[in-house]
């Protein structure tokens, strides 16, 4: 169970020696989507040099429009594995179908459940039958209670390795893509013993907001960040407007680390 009353110590998840939770501050970054071999390897090397510990990249993309780029799918997964081999960084990528759970368990280090699938209970239960760490993003209209219950769907099947990710919720505000709910980080850390990270990229949709909100996430005690980085944001196939360049990401990391050290 996720409840802090039943287990007071923080859950610490070990991903190939990288610890998530329990006072560590862990950075996952990379492109929204894997687009090509050159793209993922260039971004992976760039973010690693800037201090990212884990590489993200979407292979199966949950796009609003069926006519938008849907990801390189299995080929994208292979390219991520290649980037892992070259850089040594563990990889996190999103799953959409329960039919691919075995493949993802085999291939990836952290399996991401996106906001749109937060209440895909068959998918959550299938992931609960594995021991692979699951990054569970908050649904865009999910309450804190509903989000925690989705974590319980995974944990109650036997997988205790759940990382929560606040990625902004849908409100009346239109200026930003979503509204980043930093108070949810405090709430979830009080209510549960699970690690909670923040994704300021999807929360805002705006590259220029990412640094300050990443610092704010560190200040409220988040256990880490997920940040989108692209080598050519202007021509990205997905989410370019919120993507930092590797150089921009390196600048963000310098300031974020200062805050994380204070907390």
Contact in structure between 107 and 77 (CB atoms under 8 Å)? yes
| Cβ proximity to Mn ion, 222 vs 229, nearer residue | 229
The only residue of 214, 239, 246, 253 in contact with Mn ion, by rule CB under 5 A = 239
| Cβ proximity to ligand PEP, 10 vs 201, nearer residue | 201
Alpha carbons 189 and 176: distance in angstroms, whole number: 25
Number of neighbours of residue 141 by Cβ within 10 angstroms: 12
Contact in structure between 263 and 222 (CB atoms under 8 Å)? no
Binding to ligand PEP by CB under 6 A, coded x per residue (else -) over 133-162, reads ----x-------------------------
Instruction: Tally the C-alpha atoms within 13 A of residue 212's C-alpha that lie toward its C-beta.
Output: 6
From the CB of 192, what's the least distance to ligand PEP, in Å? Answer: 19
Q: Is 21 in the site for ligand PEP (CB under 6 A)?
A: no
Instruction: Tally the C-alpha atoms within 13 A of residue 169's C-alpha that lie toward its C-beta.
Output: 16
Q: Is 110 in the site for ligand PEP (CB under 6 A)?
A: no
Q: Is 207 in the site for ligand PEP (CB under 6 A)?
A: no
| Cβ proximity to Mn ion, 46 vs 168, nearer residue | 168
- Return the closest-CA partner of residue 140 out of 174, 177, 104: 177
Count interface residues toward Mn ion (CB under 5 A): 2
The partner in contact with residue 48, picked from Mn ion, ligand PEP, none with C-beta cut-offs of 5 to 8 angstroms by kind, is none
Please say whether the dihedral angle defined by the alpha carbons of residues 86, 90, 96 and 97, taken in this order, is positive or negative: positive
Q: Which residue is nearest to ligand PEP (CB)?
A: 114
| Cβ proximity to ligand PEP, 137 vs 230, nearer residue | 137
């Amino acid at each position: 169970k996720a409840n802090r009353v039943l287990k007071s110590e923080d859950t610490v998840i070990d991903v190939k020696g990288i610890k998530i939770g329990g006072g560590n501050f862990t950075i996952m970054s990379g492109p929204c989507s894997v687009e090509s071999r050159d793209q993922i390897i260039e971004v992976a090397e760039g973010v690693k040099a800037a201090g990212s510990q884990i590489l993200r990249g979407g292979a199966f993309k949950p796009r609003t429009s069926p006519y938008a780029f849907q990801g390189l799918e299995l080929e994208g997964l292979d390219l991520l594995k290649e980037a892992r081999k070259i850089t040594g960084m563990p990889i996190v990528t999103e799953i959409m179908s329960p039919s691919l759970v075995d493949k993802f368990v085999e291939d990836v280090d952290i399996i991401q459940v996106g906001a749109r699938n937060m209440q895909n209970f068959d998918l959550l239960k299938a992931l609960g039958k594995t021991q692979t760490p699951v990054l569970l993003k908050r649904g865009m209209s999910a309450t804190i209670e509903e989000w925690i219950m989705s974590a319980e769907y995974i944990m109650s099947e036997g997988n205790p390795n759940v990382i929560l990710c606040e990625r902004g919720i849908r409100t009346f505000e239109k200026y930003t893509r979503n509204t980043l709910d930093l108070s949810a980080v405090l709430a979830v850390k009080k209510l549960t013993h699970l690690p909670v990270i923040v994704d300021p990229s999807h929360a805002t949709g705006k590259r220029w907001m990412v640094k300050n909100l990443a610092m704010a996430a560190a200040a409220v005690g988040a256990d880490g960040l997920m940040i989108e980085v692209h080598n050519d944001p202007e021509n990205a196939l997905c989410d370019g407007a919120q993507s930092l360049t590797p150089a921009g990401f390196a600048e963000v990391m310098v300031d974020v680390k200062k805050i994380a050290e204070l907390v």
